[in-house]
Amino acid sequence: MMNYYELLYQGLYDELVKQAFPVLEQDKDAERAFLRLFQSRNAIFLLDDYESVNFLEEEAEKGNKYAQYAYGRWQSIVRGGENSLWIAYRNMKAAADQGLPDAIAGMSLVYDYGDIGSVDWEKSDELMEQAIAMGSELGLKMKIQCLCFGYHYKDAKPAEAEAMTDRLIREYEEKGIEPNGDWFYYRASAREGRMGRALTVLEDYRRALKLGVLNAYTDLIIAAGYTEADSVLVETKEYNDLIIEGMAHRASGAFYLDAAREMRRYDALREHYVDRGIEDEKIPYNVLCASHDLIHSRLSHAAELGDKAAWELMGDFYYRGDYGFEKDYQKAFVCYSNGVIHDSPASAESLWKMMHDKLIDRPLDYQDSIAIMGARWGSKRLLAETVIAGQEGRLKEYADEIEKYFAPIFDAPEFSLDSDEDWMQVIDEQLGDDDDDFEEDDGRYDAWA
């Protein structure tokens, strides 16, 4: 008897698609394993474009709801082309119309992110609750994730996340259903803030890893490098072994952390020469070249696997000319743009700033579109810029969204924000004492307040 879960846990994703797809309607284990594959951003990036993705596209065109959902998720996550979000929407909607619960949850995310226009959080919430009521694990995962980390300017509720994952794990085990690895991962995430990296937390991360959750590599690697009593990273044998193991399993976080490790070595090499009185430009190139090449390689691998932090960091390095990266605003812009594709608010802020500072020439409407995307993801800086753009008569197609969710709690300044200093002066005046909460608004936009 085929063990579809083992294919998922071992990272044999293309084989899972091939073996599970013909029996999805008849075999619940095949269905669960297949759908869990498309819940994971990491795993979706590892699918073979020519084998699995082309197959799913062909089956989606024939009207198969599972293929429509899977191909839609792939397009929405990987962004396989210029019209990816519309292709994702059409396929996701077709699968949702056929009653597939995870596709309904996927449609909720379309409205949540504003993939095809303005965001509609009320519609998103309605669809997400419908999907969860129908048994969607994707819907449950998104709800738990929001409780763990907070979302839409709302605080996290880790105690609720822990209780919910406890209940799910218990219910699955009582019914004899293979647990979803994400339940262990998010239970560990919820507990970590309360308990630190206690043994029960680490055990949950390890259990999640065995159940195919590649994100757990990042948490376990970090745990192996830090102790509760010491905030200094120590590259223990376990730390190094987990990085190597994570890269072998194609976990993006492992590549990113290996780049960070090499950056520390790079800094130590430079410091060695600087301490000897040798200026940067006179340090032998071959001394740092191998280290720089490794940093670039590791970050590139992480970025190609969808790691938004890697895109952010490469953008920063090209922007500043750090770690052997040539200073190149165009390359920085490309990296930040890829970070935006993967929903990075930090990349959106950097991209907006490059255009605002005239380092890259793009139309004002493009700059405004980046601002509203960053605002949706929680950037207070771009929230303010979105509000100002709306008050100045731009982003008219998003007027209802801006008024309802991102409405101004301060009036747009009468002067032009020509520099970061001008902008920061305005924002500082509007922030509360803790630099985290806006002062009380003027009462016109109670929905946001």
DSSP assignment of 112-136 = HHTTTSS--HHHHHHHHHHHHHTT-
Cβ proximity of 202 and 220 under 8 Å: yes
**108-128, pLDDT tens digit by residue?**
999 988 888 888 888 999 999
pLDDT at 447: 33
Number of helical H runs and strand E runs in the chain? 24, 0
Confidence of residue 417 (pLDDT cuts 50, 70, 90): very low
Q: List the domains of the chain with CATH numbers.
A: 1-155 (1.25.40), 157-213 (no CATH), 363-449 (no CATH)
Residues pairing with 273 in the sheet? none
More confident residue, 170 or 433: 170
pLDDT at 419: 53
What is the C-alpha separation between 70 and 36, in angstroms, rounded?
A: 10
Confidence of residue 81 (pLDDT cuts 50, 70, 90): confident
Across the range 26-33, mean pLDDT stands at 96
- The model carries a pTM of 0.84
Helix (H) or strand (E) holding 320: helix 308-320
pLDDT at 445: 38
Residues pairing with 154 in the sheet? 151
In the Cβ-directed half-sphere of 412, how many Cα atoms lie within 13 Å?
16
Confidence of residue 292 (pLDDT cuts 50, 70, 90): confident
Residue type, 301: H
Task: Please say if the pLDDT value at position 441 is more than 70.
Answer: no
Those residues whose C-beta lies under 8 Å from the C-beta of residue 275, and which sit 6 or more positions away, are none
What is the C-alpha separation between 248 and 255, in angstroms, rounded?
A: 10
Those residues whose C-beta lies under 8 Å from the C-beta of residue 10, and which sit 6 or more positions away, are 212
pLDDT at 108: 95
Across the range 332-349, mean pLDDT stands at 93
Q: Is residue 18 exposed (0-12), middle (13-18) or buried (19+ Cβ within 10 Å)?
A: middle
Q: 72-81: long-range contacts (C-beta < 8 A, 24 or more apart)?
A: 72/103, 72/106, 73/38, 73/44, 73/106, 74/38, 74/44, 74/47, 76/106, 76/109, 76/110, 76/115, 77/41, 77/44, 77/45, 77/306, 78/44, 78/45, 78/306, 79/341, 80/49, 80/53
Buried b / exposed e along 338-359 (16+ C-beta atoms within 10 A): bbbbbbbbbbbbbbbbbbbeee
Task: Please say if the pLDDT value at position 410 is more than 50.
Answer: no
Closest CA to 198 of 247, 162, 234: 162
Task: Please say if the pLDDT value at position 147 is more than 80.
Answer: yes
Those residues whose C-beta lies under 8 Å from the C-beta of residue 22, and which sit 6 or more positions away, are none
Across the range 68-96, mean pLDDT stands at 93
What is the C-alpha separation between 326 and 332, in angstroms, rounded?
A: 10
**What are φ and ψ of residue 319, in 5° steps?**
-65, -40
What is the C-alpha separation between 288 and 82, in angstroms, rounded?
A: 38
- The conformational region for residue 100 under phi > 0 = left, psi -120 to 50 = alpha, else beta, is beta
pLDDT at 69: 97
Counting residues of the chain whose pLDDT is more than 70, the rounded percentage is 85
What is the C-alpha separation between 64 and 95, in angstroms, rounded?
A: 8
What is the C-alpha separation between 220 and 264, in angstroms, rounded?
A: 20
pLDDT at 439: 43
Sign of CA dihedral 257, 258, 262, 264: positive
Mean pLDDT lowest among 187-191, 203-207, 212-216, 264-268 = 264-268
Those residues whose C-beta lies under 8 Å from the C-beta of residue 279, and which sit 6 or more positions away, are none
**211-262, pLDDT tens digit by residue?**
999 999 999 999 888 765 556 778 889 999 999 999 999 999 999 999 999 9
**What are φ and ψ of residue 176, in 5° steps?**
75, 25
Closest CA to 119 of 408, 399, 382: 399
